[in-house]
């Protein structure tokens, strides 16, 4: 029987995909000084079930995470075949042609003090919102890197995250956790889950006959959700009636030439029943079609994917590539933490990777677990309530934000796009926001947490990128001095663009230099 004042010392992580290893790394690095007698982490993963092996786009938060766990950015870039990502470019979402807009990682200039969206309305026909308020969309259009070879590790000139090879990233984290952070790695299939009298998990039984005892269990078993989903029967709250995409076809695409440019943003190109992601790594591209199986057949979807790939690569090469199918059950668990078990990663939930929200959610979840690590069993229940409250809200906000990408479309070329605009498929809070934004620009009041995954600046980029309009209400005037401040920020942005265009190397050039020389250590 668990005593309420018993210390939490043994953490068992089930699953060795990126969620498992990132969680292990964050928890272990934060406790490197006390590891062994007072605290220990064991990670168990199946030798037979491979990690999902996709998930190649991160948020800028990954820089802080990698720094926190004590790895060098140069090593990370070299060993994980990483490149720089500065945001996403959405092609064909409004009209289904080649029109495009950016959601860059940089906040609009002067974001804390002035809402540039309001001042931009006057010349919205001349310049896109992203181009007017940030240099980053222009940097991406030119395939430029977000820093120079002399810029120290993790320091940005323009805000950035990464594109990376997911399988290499798991191996990189594993090596670091085991060799540097004292995490015990067990390769075995979990065959049973043993309970205490109070319903807590006491231990995991392994097929080998061994048993792993623990005080706290982290479920990172991916779609299996072995502990939270299967053992505790916490149901998945499906989001398929809002975000229809339930299947992905993924391919690894070689460059036509070794020195082809590496895109500095994830390309998301709309199709008739979903969208195609295109991620540039140094040695290949990761390309895949996420679609709704209710709106297109697998054959037709694969044909669209191969047609997309054949541009640049040729139909013959595109036709010969292996394509892997993944089934997505879009949704999140009704509770993410139950008893002494918390789920992180796909075991907690998964929704189409439109804004690469999965790994950043892993980082945020593991960081909260580590920062507020429960000292004893009594604290576990308190933290569980706080964790559930915070991350269930995050999930709802992610769903709303992803849906925003669809609902302003003017496409009517397929049922998929028409259905996405169906009133019954749009969360109520999002419907309300869009009504408000017709007469006021998205701004700080539309956010909730200081570290919201998608701050109101993200709403601005997508809302105006998709052609959303704001007719500022006549009874609202900007606070005194705002117009002058806004004009100064627009000018500042234009100067910044000129200066950065002349000083930043291409993404490919910087990656090549990092391979050769490395970045300066901080
Ligand atoms: C098509 C697609 C594209 C994506 N793109 C992005 C992206 O661009 N950006 C992003 O942030 N995320 C993306 N994701 C999500 C991302 O891939 C995952 O969030 C991330 O890889 C974490 O996965 P995971 O570790 O939770 O699960 P997995 O990688 O599936 O790992 C599960 C682990 O559990 C272990 N396991 C399972 N059962 C047992 C058992 N019985 N005993 C022992 N071990 C067991 C397995 O061996 C494995 O180690 C994408 C996902 C998909 C499907």
Cα(150) to ligand 1 centroid in Å equals 35
pLDDT, tens digit (0-9, with 9 covering 90-100), for 71-125 = 999 999 999 999 999 999 999 999 999 999 999 999 999 999 999 999 999 989 9
Instruction: Kindly tell me if the per-residue pLDDT of 453 is higher than 90.
Output: no
SS3 498: helix
20 CA: nearest ligand 1 atom: 25
Instruction: Kindly tell me if the per-residue pLDDT of 138 is higher than 90.
Output: yes
In the chain, the N- to C-terminal Cα span, in Å, equals 48
Cα(214) to ligand 1 centroid in Å equals 23
pLDDT, tens digit (0-9, with 9 covering 90-100), for 468-486 = 999 987 766 666 667 889 9
Instruction: Kindly tell me if the per-residue pLDDT of 36 is higher than 70.
Output: no
User: Rg of the chain's alpha carbons, rounded to an integer?
Assistant: 23
pLDDT band (50, 70, 90) for residue 184: very high
Give the pairing type, strands 266-270 and 83-85: unpaired
User: What confidence score (pLDDT) does residue 452 get?
Assistant: 77
* Mean pLDDT, the chain, whole residue set: 95
User: What confidence score (pLDDT) does residue 32 get?
Assistant: 82
Distance CA 495, CA 490 (A): 9
288 CA: nearest ligand 1 atom: 1
Report, as an integer, the average pLDDT of 225-235.
98
Number of Cβ atoms within 10 Å of the Cβ of 154 = 18
pLDDT band (50, 70, 90) for residue 318: confident
Give the Å distances, CA to CA, from 208 to 47, 188, 287: 12, 7, 38
pLDDT, tens digit (0-9, with 9 covering 90-100), for 258-284 = 999 999 999 999 999 999 999 999 999
166 CA: nearest ligand 1 atom: 21
Cα(345) to ligand 1 centroid in Å equals 7
Do residues 100 and 266 touch, judged by C-beta distance below 8 A?
no
Cβ(346) to ligand 1 under 6 A?
yes
Angle between the 357-371 and 377-407 helix axes, to the nearest 10 degrees? 160
Nearest to 211 by CA among 220, 221, 201: 201
User: What confidence score (pLDDT) does residue 480 get?
Assistant: 65
Residue keyed to tokens 């075949």: 81
Cβ(250) to ligand 1 under 6 A?
yes
Altogether, the residues listed in the chain come to a count of 522
User: What confidence score (pLDDT) does residue 7 get?
Assistant: 86
List the structure tokens of 243: 């975000």
User: What confidence score (pLDDT) does residue 468 get?
Assistant: 96
Q: What's the whole-model pTM score? A: 0.96
Report, as an integer, the average pLDDT of 304-328.
92
Cβ(342) to ligand 1 under 6 A?
no
Instruction: Kindly tell me if the per-residue pLDDT of 1 is higher than 60.
Output: no
């Amino acid at each position: 029987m668990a005593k309420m004042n018993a210390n939490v010392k043994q953490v068992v992580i089930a699953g060795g995909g990126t969620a498992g290893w990132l969680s292990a790394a964050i928890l272990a690095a934060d406790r490197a000084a006390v590891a062994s007698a007072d605290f220990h982490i064991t990670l168990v993963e199946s030798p037979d079930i491979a990690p999902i092996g996709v998930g190649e786009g991160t948020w800028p938060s990954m820089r802080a995470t990698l720094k926190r766990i004590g790895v060098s950015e140069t090593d990370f870039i070299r060993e994980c075949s990483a490149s720089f990502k500065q945001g996403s470019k959405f092609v064909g979402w409004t009209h289904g042609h080649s029109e495009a807009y950016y959601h860059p990682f940089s906040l609009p200039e002067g974001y804390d003090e002035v809402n540039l969206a309001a001042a931009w309305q006057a010349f919205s026909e001349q310049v896109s919102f992203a181009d007017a308020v940030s240099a980053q969309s222009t940097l991406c259009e030119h395939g430029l890197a977000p820093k120079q070879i002399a810029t120290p590790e993790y320091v940005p000139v323009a805000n950035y995250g990464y594109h990376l090879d997911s399988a290499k990233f798991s191996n990189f984290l594993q090596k670091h956790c085991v060799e540097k952070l004292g995490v015990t790695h067990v390769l075995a299939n979990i065959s049973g889950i043993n309970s205490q009298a109070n319903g807590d998990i006491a231990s995991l039984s392994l097929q080998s006959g061994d048993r792993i005892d623990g005080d706290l269990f982290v479920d990172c078993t991916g779609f299996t959700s072995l502990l939270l989903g299967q053992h505790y029967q916490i149901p998945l709250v499906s989001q398929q009636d809002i975000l229809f995409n339930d299947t992905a076809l993924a391919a690894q695409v070689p460059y036509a030439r070794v020195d082809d440019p590496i895109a500095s943003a994830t390309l998301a190109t709309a199709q008739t029943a979903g969208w195609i992601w295109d991620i540039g790594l140094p040695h290949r591209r990761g390309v895949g079609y996420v679609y709704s199986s209710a709106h297109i057949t697998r054959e037709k979807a694969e044909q669209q994917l191969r047609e997309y790939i054949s541009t640049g690569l040729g139909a013959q090469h595109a036709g010969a590539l292996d394509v892997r199918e993944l089934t997505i059950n879009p949704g999140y668990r009704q509770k993410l933490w139950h008893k002494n078990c918390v789920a992180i990663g796909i075991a907690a939930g998964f929704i189409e990777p439109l804004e690469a929200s999965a790994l950043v959610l892993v980082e945020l979840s593991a960081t909260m677990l580590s920062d507020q690590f429960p000292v004893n069993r009594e604290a576990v229940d308190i933290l569980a309530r706080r964790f559930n409250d915070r991350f269930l809200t995050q999930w709802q906000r992610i769903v709303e934000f992803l849906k925003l990408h669809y609902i302003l479309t003017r496409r009517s070329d397929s049922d998929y796009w028409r259905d996405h605009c169906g009133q019954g498929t749009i969360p109520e809070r999002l419907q309300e926001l869009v009504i408000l934004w017709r007469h006021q620009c998205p701004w700080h009041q539309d956010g909730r947490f200081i570290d919201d995954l998608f701050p109101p600046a993200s709403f601005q980029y997508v809302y105006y990128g998709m052609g959303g309009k704001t007719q500022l209400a006549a009874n609202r005037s900007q606070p005194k001095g705002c117009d002058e401040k806004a004009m100064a920020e627009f000018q500042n942005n234009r100067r910044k663009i000129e200066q950065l265009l002349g000083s930043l190397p291409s993404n490919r050039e910087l990656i090549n230099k990092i391979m050769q020389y490395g970045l300066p250590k901080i």
